[in-house]
Amino acid sequence: MKKGLTELVFILDRSGSMCGLESDTICGYNSMLDKQKNEPGEAIVTTVLFDDRYELLHDRINLTGIK
């Protein structure tokens, strides 16, 4: 385990059951990323979106590379 490293893994539901909650989900995701950017140390992010299929949006990307 690397000291000073945080690994964030997000698995986000984009199926029809989330209809109407997209904005809240995106805001929560972005808020978490923003909070983590203010923490000391390095952070890497994995983000997966799913419905009847999945999409790997970020695969262990350094947080500084996510816009």
* Segment 1-15, tens digit of pLDDT: 678 899 999 999 999
> CA 17 to CA 30: how far, in whole Å?
21
> Rounded to two decimals, what is the model's pTM?
0.87
SS3 15: coil
Domains in the chain: boundaries: 5-65
Q: What averages of pLDDT result for each successive group of 10 residues across the chain (67 residues)? A: 90 92 94 96 97 97 92
